[in-house]
Structure 1
Amino acid sequence: MRGIFLVPALLGLSTTAFAHDAPSGWKYPNSCCSNLDCRQVTQTAISERPQGYIIRATGEVLPYTDGRVRISPDGFYHWCSAAGEEHSKTICLFVPPRAY
């Protein structure tokens, strides 16, 4: 009987952000994240070229018009990849608003 109360009590103590939350607090959309796929990345992890955004880890090119490219609510790059792996296919890419 004692174990029944332990689980809810432990769940209530957690203050850690869920994996589907960006560090700044906004929530990654369910269509991009399965609680482990998305993370904030440095500006050097993504480069902008005439053909689109280049994911350095994979070499993928996402054209600017690609539906996976979305505006980042906090102005930082966020990359969602299959199973959250460094070298897997892009699910979504959140980018800062473009100045031009």
Structure 2
Amino acid sequence: MFCSANWPRFAARLSVIASLGFLVSPIPSSFAHQAKSGWKYPISCCSGIDCREVPNKAISERPEGYVIVGTGEVLAYKDSRVRNSPDGEYHWCSVGGANNTKTVCLFVPPKSY
């Protein structure tokens, strides 16, 4: 049976346990992660797992826009999901970071003229 005389000790232990739980809890998904080159993906594009650098052959350019080769999805050149790549590489952010889902953001290298 619980004794009220033990309450202060119980409350202190409960406080320590709750604090430890906070310290080991996963990092909130509102923190963006970094590209290999060190720049951070915007939170609007990434929930910590959605973005990654992809090889040039994963994205093709057609008259209608950028084509995600693996899914066939086409993003018009003026699509708001298309953004400039800070490191000159392609970076693809897809739902859940999966290779068969829709695009959240596509970072493209600058056009060379």
**TM-score tier after normalising by the smaller chain length:** 0.7 to 0.9
1:71 matched residue in structure 2: 84
Kindly provide the amino acid, as one letter, of the partner of residue 98 in structure 2.
E
1:38 matched to 2:51: yes
Output the CA distance in 2 between the equivalents of 1:57 and 1:19: 24
Q: Which runs of 5 or more residues in structure 1 are unaligned?
A: 11-17
TM-score by length of 2: 0.72
Output the CA distance in 2 between the equivalents of 1:75 and 1:99: 11
Q: Which runs of 5 or more residues in structure 2 are unaligned?
A: 1-12, 25-30
Tell me by how many angstroms 1:19 deviates: 7.0
2:96 matched residue in structure 1: 83
Q: How big is each residue's C-alpha offset from its partner over 1:15-42, in whole Å with a ceiling of 9 and x where there is no partner? A: xxx9720000000000000000000000
Q: Give the alignment's Cα RMSD to 1 decimal.
A: 2.0
Output the CA distance in 2 between the equivalents of 1:72 and 1:65: 15
1:15 matched residue in structure 2: none
Output the CA distance in 1 between the equivalents of 2:36 and 2:108: 15
RCO higher in structure (CA 8 A, sep ≥6): 1
Q: Is the 8 A contact 1:19 1:38 kept in 2?
A: no
Output the CA distance in 2 between the equivalents of 1:41 and 1:75: 12
* Percentage of identical aligned residues: 63
Q: Which has the higher helix share?
A: 2
2:7 matched residue in structure 1: none
The structure having more radius of gyration, on CA atoms, is 2
Alignment of 1:1-100 (within 5 A): 20-100=33-113
Number of equivalenced pairs: 91
